[in-house]
Amino acid sequence: MRTFIEGDDLKIQRARQRVEKLKGFYINLVLYLIFIPFFIFLNIKSTSFPWAIFPIVGWGLGILGHATDTFGWSPFFGKNWEERKIRQFIEEEDRYY
């Protein structure tokens, strides 16, 4: 039987946290896909004003935010943006001092 050292415990804990994030994202996505037709159906039956677009777009933006957090994707900064900026500032500082 293998005994885990502290580093393995941290890896397992981080892996479990990532799995929980992923599971939460997929649950949110499936519920979104289920409710879109429901919102549209209610909208058609209730009024001619397209009110369903508001919860669909709002929830969709929430899904997008959830995806960026879950998958570590950032459309504005990129994967190595922070590291590149730190290097840039260090290089600039070295030039002036």
> Is 35 domain-assigned?
yes
**Is 1 contained in some domain?**
no
Q: Tell me the C-alpha distance between 87 and 85, whole Å.
A: 5
**Residuewise pLDDT in 10s, the chain (97 residues):** 555 555 678 889 989 999 999 999 999 999 999 999 999 999 999 999 999 999 999 999 999 999 988 887 776 776 677 788 888 888 888 887 7
* Closest to 24 (Cα-Cα) out of 77, 65, 58, 53: 65
- Is residue 51 assigned to a domain? yes
Q: Are 70 and 25 in contact (CB under 8 A)?
A: yes
Give the chain's domain count.
1
The whole domain housing 52 covers 6-96
What span, in angstroms and rounded, lies between the C-alpha atoms of 93 and 29?
Answer: 45
pTM: 0.68
Is residue 48 a part of any domain in this protein? yes
